[in-house]
Amino acid sequence: MAPARKVSVKRSASGDVAAFLKKAAGTPVRAPDGKNGRLIFAMDATASRGPSWAQAMAIQTDMFQEAASVGGLDVQLVYYRGLMDFGASPWLGDADRVVSLMRSVNVLGGPTQIERVLKHAAAESKRGKVNAVVFIGDAVEELPDQIMAAAGELGLRGVPVFVFHEGGFEPAGSVFRQIAQLTRGAYSSFDANSAQQLRDLLKAVAVFAAGGRKALENYGRKTGGAVQRLTHQLTRKT
């Protein structure tokens, strides 16, 4: 489903939630069983992101480096571009290797493959626990019903998807918000002016992936209402 018209939708976190994200993200945590959490970091590398790719890559790299600073996390980099070009790295605990791989990806014209990303994440979750998926993209060119079916499977498997939507344009925004809702994840739009908010939010996702909801709830006892709203966003029911 190609976007017929781009209508900007801007959403921002409240000041108290943003403050909590910054505090929580700065604290290393590990999964209760001592094993690293596992996070799939997926990105759209199709031509529509070309005009802003250099800037977006810089933001994405910063986002990942901030998330990696949390520790206790293994990451798999996933991307799509071109005519069904789809890549997935091994699971890596070395942030520098992941960043190097990320920077090696260039844009190439082709359709979106969001359904494939979600199905890949579901397949990975059958092989081993996947704590969260981060997806960064700007458009939807597929049948929404097929995407929702794949998102629903991830939701049933307990894998939340955190969607970072470049530009925040509709109708893609509606599809992305449904993915987040079905998987009990979260949605955030971004542009060149929201890099710091994204860094803070992704670090919070990394805390969640590495230590689970309990890690955030522990901080909730110290920070009050803001964390309760965040916890609701991460785990809301469909």
Q: What CATH number is attached to the domain comprising 171?
A: 3.40.50.410
Rounded Cα distance, 173 and 128, in Å:
30
In a domain, 150, yes or no: yes
Indicate whether 91 belongs to any domain.
Answer: yes
How many domains, the chain? 1
Within a domain: 97: yes
Residue 23 is predicted with a pLDDT of: 40
Is residue 83 in a domain?
yes
Residue 2 lies in a domain: no
pLDDT at residue 144, as a whole number? 96
Give the global pTM.
0.77
pLDDT at 180: 92
Q: Per residue in 28-51, pLDDT tens? A: 344 445 578 899 999 999 988 877
Q: Is residue 229 part of a domain?
A: yes
In a domain, residue 1? The reply is: no
Residue 140 in domain: yes
Domain that holds residue 22: 7-235
**Which stretches in the chain have pLDDT values below 50?**
1-32, 219-220, 222-228, 237-238
